[in-house]
Structure 1
Amino acid sequence: MSEGVEWAIHSCLNLTWLEPGEAVTAARMAAYYSLPAAYMNKQLQALARAGILTSTPGPRGGFRLARAPEDITLMDVVTAIEGPEEAFRCEEILRHGPGEHEGVDYRRGCYVSQAMRRAELAWRRELAGQTIADLRDTVERRRPSVPGETRAWFANLRT
């Protein structure tokens, strides 16, 4: 997984703590983590294309959540950044090994492929079962000062 997934999840989490109607530019979000603004913008645009964020142009524009945090799963964010493709791609190398048989679907018959698919399904289920709201609630419970500190930081930054 690319680092963009981490950036995107943190960005969504930060957006949960903003005042209603407030938006954050890609440059401001990037400055929060000392990340390159252009690359952060790429991640935020991908989230907007996926319907996770909305993007508003103009001097008071920026990004905000398009859906309630309860309706955004970690899998939604991963898919927005990485795409829907499977992490493990069976290249059917058995087809080129000894005992080759025409017409055999090696993706279905290969035990390595089966094990990797089971693991990926478990991973996807876990990510689909966790929302941005779940993360927000955990942070607020364990670090209650973070929401206020995040709001204050974004309110005071002039980027």
Structure 2
Amino acid sequence: MSGGVEWGLHCCVVLSGSGEPVPAAKLAEFHDVSPSYLAKQLQLLSRAGLVRSTQGQSGGYGLTRPPAEITVLDVVEAIDGSRPAFRCTEVRRRGPLAAPPEKCLTPCSIARVMDAADRAWRESLRAVTIADLAGEVGRTSGPETLARARAWLQT
């Protein structure tokens, strides 16, 4: 998983309660990350329909849906794509003792285990929303944390 996923999730959490668009430059400054790097992540989120960009003097980024309707998996797939983490290359059909194709009609045990793990990982990320993450920030860092962050972003 790329580092862009972490930045994208952090941006979505701070945008979750923002009533006004937040400029990309402010988000980059707030997270102490390169503006061009963060802009790339925001563009990916925008292409996936998770955030929208508003142009002009008071422009910036905002969520397109309520935070309870955006999952962590939505953000992961927007930034890193939806391909499985493991791709079987049929190692069992290589080398001096290679299995012939007719003996490889079903996925090998390694591919099955990795596919099951990928499905479980995705289901776990699908079960957590941006609203859940924002609520957790309030519980672990104090209820004023996100309010202070949003106020800073609007200055």
TM-score range, shorter chain: over 0.9
State the match for 1:56 in structure 2: 54
User: Alignment length, in residue pairs?
Assistant: 153
Q: Select 1:119's aligned residue among 96, 117, 120.
A: 117
State the match for 2:17 in structure 1: 17
Q: Contact 2:15–2:150 at 8 Å: present in 1 too?
A: no
Q: Contact 1:56–1:62 at 8 Å: present in 2 too?
A: yes
- The residue identity in structure 1 corresponding to 2:100 is H
SS of structure 1 residue aligned to 2:61:
strand
Q: TM-score if structure 1 supplies the norm length? A: 0.91
Q: TM-score if structure 2 supplies the norm length? A: 0.93
Cα distance, 1:55–1:103 mapped onto 2, change above 3 Å: farther
Query: Mind listing any 5+ residue stretches in structure 1 that lack a counterpart?
Result: none
Residues 34-45 of structure 1 correspond to what in structure 2 (within 5 A)? 34-45=32-43
The answer to which of 90-99 and 42-51 deviates more is 90-99
Q: d(CA) in 2 for partners of 1:34 and 1:141? A: 24
- The residue identity in structure 1 corresponding to 2:37 is Y
State the match for 1:3 in structure 2: 3
> Alignment RMSD, CA only?
1.4
Moved over 2 A (4+): 102-106
State the match for 1:150 in structure 2: 149
Post-superposition Cα deviations, 1:17-67, rounded to whole Å, max 9, x if no partner, equal 32x2x0112111110011000010000010011010011111211110001
Cα distance, 1:146–1:111 mapped onto 2, change above 3 Å: same
Q: d(CA) in 2 for partners of 1:149 and 1:99? A: 61
